[in-house]
C-alpha cells in the first residue's frame, strides 16, 4: 500500500499521495472547508507548505471551491485539464448533469454559492497524460472524461488511483458505482476501461468509499450485456 492519506471533509474527500519532495493532493473541497482541512493536515503532522501540487479532478465547486485559498496557504501548483481550465479562470462550475432523481433534486435546490468560487489561473494545463516524477512519485495524470469533459485521474505505477467523480458513492449513491452526475455516461464507461487497462488495483473516489476494480469490471460487463 502506498503512502495515501485521506482527509474526510464530510460531503467529499481529499486524497494526499506522499512523494520524495512533499505531497500531491487531489482536489481542494469547498472554500468553507479550509479550517477543517487545515485541522486534518495538522492531525496528520503535515505542514501546508509540504503540499506541492493540487490536481483538480474537475471544475465543480466541491472540488475547486477552496483552490484560491489553498494556493495562498500552500503555494502549491494547480494542475487541471484544458477542457476545464477556463472554468477555473472564471470561477464557475462546468455543467452539472444529474442522472438520478436525488441528484436532480439536489442540483435544482443548490444555491449558486455552491457552484461558483474564487477564480484562479492554473499553473499546469494538460491535454492527455502528464508525468508526476518531478514531484517525487512514479505516477501520471490521465484524461478520464465523462463526469465533465475535463475530468482527470491520477494513476501510480503500483496501481493506486485517485479517480474523483469518475465513480461516486455515498451520499450521492448508496454504494460506489457509475456516477449519479455525469455529462456523458458512455464516456465515463470508456474512462473506466482506460483506468482498468492501466493496471489499477485500488481506486479512491471523492464521494464514498473506494471502488474495487472487480466491481468496475462487473458493472461494465453488465452494461455491455444490456446494450448488446
What is the Cα–Cα distance from 44 to 5, expressed in whole angstroms?
8
**What whole-number percentage of the chain has pLDDT above 90?**
93
Average pLDDT of 183-201?
A: 97
Model pTM? 0.96
Q: Is the pLDDT of residue 1 over 60?
A: no
Query: What is the average pLDDT value for the chain, to the nearest integer?
Result: 96
β-pairing, 152-156 vs 160-164, is antiparallel
Q: Is the distance from CB of 22 to CB of 52 less than 8 angstroms?
A: yes
What is the Cα–Cα distance from 8 to 12, expressed in whole angstroms?
7
Cell output for 159: 496501481
What is the Cα–Cα distance from 146 to 17, expressed in whole angstroms?
24
In this prediction, residue 2 carries a pLDDT of 75
Average pLDDT of 16-36?
A: 96
What is the Cα–Cα distance from 176 to 159, expressed in whole angstroms?
19
Query: Residues 6 or more apart from 178 whose CB is under 8 A from it?
Result: 167, 168, 185, 188, 189, 219
Into how many domains does the chain fold? 1
Domain with 14 in it: what CATH number? 3.60.15.10
pLDDT, one tens digit per residue, over 46-76 is 999 999 999 999 999 999 999 999 999 999 9
Segment 43-47 long-range contacts (CB within 8 Å, at least 24 positions apart): 44/5, 44/7, 44/16, 46/5, 46/16
Task: Give the domain extent around 46.
Answer: 4-227
Torsion of CA 114, 119, 145, 140, to 10 degrees: -120
pLDDT, one tens digit per residue, over 136-171 is 999 999 999 999 999 999 999 999 999 999 999 999
In this prediction, residue 32 carries a pLDDT of 95
Q: Is the pLDDT of residue 99 over 70?
A: yes
Amino acid at each position: 500500500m502506498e503512502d495515501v492519506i485521506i482527509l474526510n471533509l464530510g460531503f467529499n474527500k481529499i486524497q494526499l499521495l506522499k512523494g520524495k519532495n512533499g505531497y500531491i493532493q487531489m482536489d481542494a473541497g469547498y472554500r468553507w472547508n479550509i479550517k477543517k482541512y487545515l485541522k486534518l493536515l495538522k492531525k496528520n503532522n503535515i505542514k501546508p507548505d509540504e503540499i506541492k501540487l493540487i490536481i483538480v479532478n474537475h471544475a465543480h465547486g466541491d472540488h475547486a471551491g477552496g483552490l484560491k485559498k489553498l494556493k495562498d496557504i500552500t503555494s502549491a501548483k494547480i494542475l487541471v485539464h484544458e477542457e476545464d481550465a477556463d472554468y477555473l479562470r472564471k470561477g464557475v462550475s462546468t455543467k452539472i448533469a444529474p442522472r438520478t432523481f436525488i441528484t436532480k433534486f439536489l442540483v435544482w435546490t443548490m444555491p449558486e454559492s455552491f457552484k461558483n468560487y474564487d477564480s484562479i489561473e492554473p499553473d499546469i494545463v494538460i491535454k492527455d497524460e502528464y508525468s508526476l516524477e518531478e514531484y517525487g512519485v512514479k505516477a501520471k495524470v490521465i484524461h478520464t472524461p465523462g463526469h465533465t469533459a475535463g475530468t482527470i485521474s491520477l494513476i501510480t505505477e503500483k496501481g493506486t488511483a485517485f479517480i474523483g467523480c469518475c465513480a461516486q458513492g455515498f451520499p450521492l449513491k448508496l454504494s460506489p458505482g457509475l456516477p449519479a452526475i455525469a455529462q456523458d455516461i458512455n464516456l465515463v464507461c470508456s474512462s473506466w476501461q482506460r483506468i482498468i487497462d492501466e493496471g489499477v488495483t485500488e481506486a479512491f473516489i471523492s464521494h464514498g468509499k473506494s471502488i474495487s476494480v472487480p466491481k468496475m469490471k462487473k458493472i461494465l460487463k453488465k452494461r455491455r450485456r444490456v446494450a448488446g
